[in-house]
Amino acid sequence: MITIQSPREIEGMRKAGAVLAGMHIALRDIIKPGISSWDIEKFALRYFEENNAKPEEKGFEGYDFATCVSINEEVCHAFPRKGLLLKNGDLVKVDTVISVDGYMSDSCWAFAVGDVSDEVKKLMDVTKKSLYLGIDQAVVGNRIGDIGYAIQHYVEDEMGYGDVREYVGHGIQPTMHEDPMVPAYGEAGKGVRLREGMTITIEPMVNIGDWRCAPVADDGWTVRTADGSLSCQYEHTLVITKDGPKILTSQDPEFDKKYL
């Protein structure tokens, strides 16, 4: 069932989104060569505790951590690991969900570790642009397929990258995962019609190579690209309003001015 949020619920989600965005902003000074992905987990846990936020991924379907920290060819859902040190040139994606006073927020952000290659920079730019192309389609009266088509057409037809199909965005609030599913691919004019008050996540995962993912790793969670190519992800939580899509997890008020 698709839920429509009240102004009070949207404001609660906005407050949770600000906490989550603040954590990602703070990670810019934390993520550097030589730290472990476990250091990211420890920092996130401390940040959430200081801001009265509950890490909703921790304990979800048996997952033991507050964050997913996926590196290079890891598409999503990788564990934070104590012995895995980040290297100069790595591409790291940090994905997490929190609640504050029962209101949810979900966001993934990509980080360059030290000096990265032009290939990594381009992948990050393409993925972030695809996210915003999808957000631009999240308007009252459009359909879910309009979001996915805008992302897929840019990623695959214009840029020649792989647009992951196996993992998708979703509705959010009152739980982490609600209807509707929000694929980053699709056919324009198809799918659920978007209504004022819907809260969703848009989260394109873009591979330099083929769009396909390998089978889930033996740990039961980690997903990698099938061909070993680099993968990137960005994700925002947003609300659909009569005045257009409004981002609830914005990290940059100037860049996101039209969405706030």
Of 112, 109, 148, the C-alpha closest to 130 is 148
Rounded Cα distance, 230 and 7, in Å: 40
Burial class (CB in 10 A: 0-12, 13-18, 19+), 226: middle
- Say if residue 77 carries a ligand binding annotation: yes
Collect all residues with Cβ–Cβ distance below 8 Å to 42 and sequence separation of at least 6.
Answer: none
Distance of CA 126 to the CA centre of its chain: 14
Buried b (16+ CB within 10 A) or exposed e, 68-97: bbbbbbbbbbbbbbeeeebeeebbbbbbbb
Per-residue pLDDT of the chain (260 residues; tens, 9 = 90+): 899 999 999 999 999 999 999 999 999 999 999 999 999 999 999 999 999 999 999 999 999 999 999 999 999 999 999 999 999 999 999 999 999 999 999 999 999 999 999 999 999 999 999 999 999 999 999 999 999 999 999 999 999 999 999 999 999 999 999 999 999 999 999 999 999 999 999 999 999 999 999 999 999 999 999 999 999 999 999 999 999 999 999 999 999 999 99
CB atoms within 10 A of CB 118: 7
Residue 153 among known ligand-binding residues? no
Query: Annotation-wise, does 41 bind a ligand?
Result: no
Domain annotation for the chain: domains and CATH numbers: 7-259 (3.90.230.10)
Residue 235 assigned as binding residue? yes
Q: Is the peptide bond before 7 cis (omega within 30 degrees of 0)?
A: no
Question: Which tens digit of pLDDT belongs to each residue from 154-211?
Answer: 999 999 999 999 999 999 999 999 999 999 999 999 999 999 999 999 999 999 999 9
Q: Is 106 annotated as a binding-site member?
A: yes
Annotated binding residue at 24? no
pTM of the entire structure? 0.97
> How remote is the C-alpha of 223 from its chain's centroid?
15
Question: pLDDT digit string (tens) for 153-164?
Answer: 999 999 999 999
Contacts of 50 (CB under 8 A, 6+ apart): none
